[in-house]
Structure 1
Amino acid sequence: MARGRLRIYLGAAPGVGKTYTMLHEGQRLRSLGTDVVVGLVEPHGRRPTAALAEGLETVPRRTVVHRGVSLTEMDLDAVLARRPQVALVDELAHTDVPGSRNAKRWQDVEELLDAGIDVVTTLNVQHLESLNDVVRQITGVTQHETLPDEVARRADQIELVDLLPETLRRRLVHGDVYPPDRIETALTHYFRVGNLTALRELALLWLADRVEEGLQRYRAEHGITAPWETRERILVGLTGGPEGETLIRRAARITARTPGSELLALHVVPGDGLVRSDPAALSHQRTLVESLGGGYHQTTGEDIPEALLQFAKAENITQIVLGASRRGRFSLLLRAGVGQRTIHRSGPIDVHIVTHEAAAGASVPRPPRPIRGTGPVRYWSAIAGAALLLPLLTLVLTALRGTLGLPGALVLYMLAVVLTALVGGRLPALLTALAAALLTDYYFTPPLHSLKVERAVDIVALVVFFAAAWLVGTAAGVAARRTHQAMRATSEARALSRMAAAMMRGEALPTLLEQVRENFSLAAVSLLERDPEHGPEPRWYVVASAGARPPERPYDADVEARVDDRLTLAARGPGLSGDDRRILAACATQLGIAHTRGGLVRGAAGAEPEEPGRPRAGALYLRPVDLDEALTAALDDLGPGGHSILLRLPEQLPDVIADAALLARVLATLVADALRNSPPDAPPALTAEVEPDRVTVRISRPTADDMADAPAGREGEGSALRLSRDLVEAMGGTVEHTADGAPSVTITLPTSAPRPGP
């Protein structure tokens, strides 16, 4: 049985009109033929609200006697027995009277939803559990009836019933909210303008967060990486250096000046494995960020600006705050700092460079580090080799000074520099070249055993030698970096190709997970599935696992790669670099495909089918698609011609399993074909019918034409119809062409969850 849909009318305070709006929606649905009943409504003596309930069928309340007092409550069993399409239930967060089956009204609503009944309800923002303390600080009133935020977040639709504070106070004065004896107290206490303004802002911000969740899902589903400035997100980059607190406070002030913005901090751990930050300083900075209401994150990256920008694009960051470089001017001439490189690559993201005390002094001394791509072992091996090779070579050249002379010494020293560059990269080569130049000057240029140079030709020879060593070292460093990138790309392609090959062979999920575990040297891997029907605390099930003691929940894992809202890949083991995390995320997507495809195969074989939520196979991206959105996109693609289509659609259309882009294209193609073959004064009609497990969309024309003369079936069909048939069948649906009478094309698609039609 399909679960019902939940709609919540959210208000900032009592009296804004939530119950009135709920009843108005009930009357509207009733006028459209929907079976609507009133499960429970609390008009609170407000005559307009009570009048709006007239004409709606009301399920009688049940009476409960508690301590000699008769109390009434919604008769849950009677509503379930009546089994309407839609039930109106007021005040979702309230407590049921003692002796009821459930302690809270939202638990009654959960039973109605489980029975397939749609519920329209109301809620005040002060009853949300996460805002309870904030509301008490604002109003001085403790709300004892609270609702877990997760219950509200699971609602299919939340609408804000908004009213200006001044308007609400005028309603109070006119007696539209409370009786006369309570008006004065309400105006001077709970309903002060400041209180109402703060509560209204809380409601707007809470709802904005839920809208943001939907936006992030949409961006992920459609592969959108460019930031959308729907709200300001400020990211501060932390190195663990002394400037960290200054940057955090500066970013916090930028956040505070932009209501609704969000503060995040990111520390990038270099991919070479060398620790160059103070863990204690980072821990203190993390505490500061969290105390200012921000979130702290950490990632690994070989290129720090690239890692910063990858995180920024993934989190829809709009502004980045970085500190001015602590490096000296000469170092900045040789290579631009992190700030400048980030600015050059940031695109539409604003980058703030903040000065600080540490930037004005000398750069912090740090030990030399290997160039990326050579690795610390080869780096230090090159330096150690040069330290041994140069003295030995000097002894040999000193003995042969009269035979080889200065040119021979420079050539052999250059060979030592080249060997060092090939092993360790640019910096060891430069150090070797400098040492070789000094040794040549001391032992082979007159005056001997002195660093003075008397002849101009010797000065030129030493300068040319050092410049050649610089070029050789740079070329070796670039070659090492390119080799590392090629190896990384090869490793990524090999991992994904092995995963794809295993999926093509039909390997079981545990085998695929074992392959992932071995590829990334992880201790254990689990594919976890979230129970969508569970309460506020999510419950996770292990779909398949590999390794010892696999994680059973996402927060038990060291590494997590989310597949979708339902599936996630959790792993225990050493931390992964940014590139490895990206490959792991791609593998997780492939595992999600394998899991969904296995569910579809089992469903086709007669097993209990799973709800499809990811791609099924090939290039199709099958998932639950909002049919309303697909129809709207199709008609928009037709331009002004799409406005003349006659639409006969039910009030609510369920989601269908399809590829969203292909479905919109098919609908637009068929409607355009019907428009071309219809008279201008008799446009085609588009109707939809909802059945328990499928939706039928019919595009019909009032008159016969060339297409109607063609026989039904594949022979004689136009190319548009044949192509559309192939695409719909690939998505698991059917297309039928009727040429008798009024020509029509009927598309049938499976629904993501069977629902009775309204």
Structure 2
Amino acid sequence: MPRPTDAPRPDPKAMLQLAARESRGKLTVFLGAAPGVGKTYAMLERARGRKAEGIDVVIGLVETHGRSETARLAEGIETLPRQGDRGVYGEFDLDAALARKPALLVVDELAHSNAVGARHPKRHQDIAELIAAGIEVWTALNVQHLESLSDLVARIAGVPVRETVPDTVLKGADEVILVDLPPAELIERLHAGKVYLPDNATRALDGFFKPATLTALRELALRRAADRVDDQMVDFLRQSAVEGPWATGERLLVCVGPDEMSEKVVRIASRLASGLNARWLVFSVSRPGAPLLDATSAERLEETLRLAERLGAETRRETAGDFVETILRLARREHITQIVIGRPAGRRWFRRSLPDAILRQAGDIGVHVVPVQASGATIRRPRRHLSLPQWALAAGLPVIAVGATTLLGLGINALIALQNLSMFYLAAVLLSAVIAGRGSALLAAILSFAAYNYFFIEPTGELTVAQPQEVLSLLIFIAVALAAGQLAARLREQVELARHQARQSQALLDFSRKLSGAFGEEAVLDAIASHLHASLGRPAIVLVPDGSGELSPAAAWPPDQPLDAAALTAARWAQDKKEPAGFLTGTLPQVRYLFWPIISAQRMLGVAGLAMGPRDEPLGAEDERTWQALLAQAAIAMDRARLNRESARASVAREGEKLQAALLSSLSHDLRTPLASITGAVTTLRQLGEKLPGETRDDLLLSIEEESGRLNRFVANLFDMTRIEAGMTKARREPIDLAQLIDTSVARARRLHPDLTVELSLAADLPPAMGDATLLEQVLFNLLDNAHKYGGAEQPVAIFARAESGAAMISVTDQGKGIPEADLEKIFDKFYRRAKGDGRPAGTGLGLSIARGLMTAMGGTITASSPATRKRGTRFTLHLPLARTGI
């Protein structure tokens, strides 16, 4: 309980709703009870006032219906041209309005249905897109077009309402302005020709424009406007943290099913919720062992739930064995104050109806039972429509089973007298129930009753019963047979349901396995497209955003499915709005593809599409649930593939950063040291010049020469490494005289290191090897330079060459400290150096890496081993293929 000193705080939910409204355009609805009350006139009159204030006002569409007064008000206000290039001339041009993007746009006739070919089937969807784009919209609506009132208005006026608007549109409006006119004045305007032309006015007076009808419509409009004012007041109190007379907090639970009565229950519940200003929840529950709904019943249930969502309800569904317990448990958990349920037609002699059971156990929860008209729909168990072979099986199996049982019983009875032959007939009933279902079991029970009576109960050959106890036996038999058949049939239905669910689970399992075995994003997308095609029996396509964010086809099955501009537009809509688009949806319903977004918990991943035929219906409930389950699995797989790709990129980036850091470290050390020596020597020579002794000047010049050579070798190494990694090093494959090449390499190394001692041990019959002499000389030079650097000048370097196992082998061994076994492979990495603080120049760390790259280019190998001799030193071994000899 808050302390008295605590300041009241605004409702967080109300503040979030306010913030959401601030980020979009505003919607104002001019609400009237009937045509002709002056909605368009009032809207244009206010629009002229806003234009006079300097507001950018544009008319997107206005229907004057020939009224000159209304037409004059539209003069002087910019009006967008109507569509005329898409076969839908006269329609509101949504794209032109979005491109013009005025501050205030007037769009009349909110309940209008767009022509075929438009982006949205209904104009209120066009207006929703305009509001999302930040444009303020004014529109007009008659109260009879609200979806929750359409059936009530049809009964009041006797005229069906063809165009409807979901109640959520009016509830989401920022402002509702009631345009009211008493019925008598409206009828006078009709007589004066200010509403319709004379012929239409006469028909209107005989039909819709009756005083009683107009009065009822006026009351509905006034109530809806008052409800809207109450909602705005409550919103203001919550946003301002004002404690006061808030809404009472009524909450309704509406129970629906696949029957035809549920639509009426939802509409009545919507009006009840509106009158009570209450939140409401629509709930559907099914039994786990119940037979699957036929297509008509399943689609009727889905349409009922979609209607409830359009009217502003929250929908849920559940599977449970006890309907009453499940409904009441949900009601108490959700703090329901009233339960709304339809009353089934007909009497139930042996068990209570669902409303009766709920009334009995509801306790303090109110129960509103919706009556059913005599001519209305009743709750019916969905019937299975059997094909001719199924009918033949259902009717023929009981006849064959009972006939065979009778012949078997007569045969046994001729041999021995049995008193319990009825058990054989129970087996026939059970067999019929398990194989053909409930109806077949009933027919088998009736036939068994007749056959048992005719052939085995005295007097035989007649359907009469001589002994009274036999009558009781027959009645018990038929009761047991019917009960056994019912249980067996229910078991069969549960088995069929379990098989169906197992097939769905197996399909999802197969899909998961296929996705888990797919490596790479392309393989995952191909698996998604092929499995969607296999599961739903329609061509499937998957689109993903490219680098610029534009959708492009990434996988399809069958392949090569072209998408036209309209289909791509629908796919982009599904991506941007994260809602279905295309075939028979609320956006571009004429497109033959049905697109659904693929969304993970973190991001929008892409769009999946199904190619629908011209005669196809919307996806059934089972197919839609399968479709959503497959897309959920696809989202997980695509997210995983993308994360793997991003992880690989991050790993490459980390390796690149390490390489860059090593390169910068090498450059900073290997360039700074020789440059410092050269700079110092040049500065000394320039400042002192002839003052220095000749020997000192020679030493300085020698230092400049040596350090310049070192820089030159460093740059050459970098260049060689770059050429190797870029694949620009092309090795020749020609015979090489190894003895001559080794002598040349040793001479080159001695020019750089005059104190280098080399011990040669070359086989006398050393054959030529296949390779590139220039590259092999560079490899040997790098190894000798490395041996001098780490083995020291005082220790000789041994070179040994011979032929072994069909290859030429050359080893270079130093007498240094050796290399730990863990580092024998690392020394071939770029910029890896082990010399630290031993006083010798550490080098670039590229020599051995270049050596391995050159050997690989020649088709050879290089390996390192340590210790080499007497637990010291390192040996580098080269292997090259031998040159072919002979003709």
**TM, length-normalised to structure 1:** 0.41
- With CA pairs under 8 Å and 6+ residues apart, which has the higher RCO, 1 or 2? 1
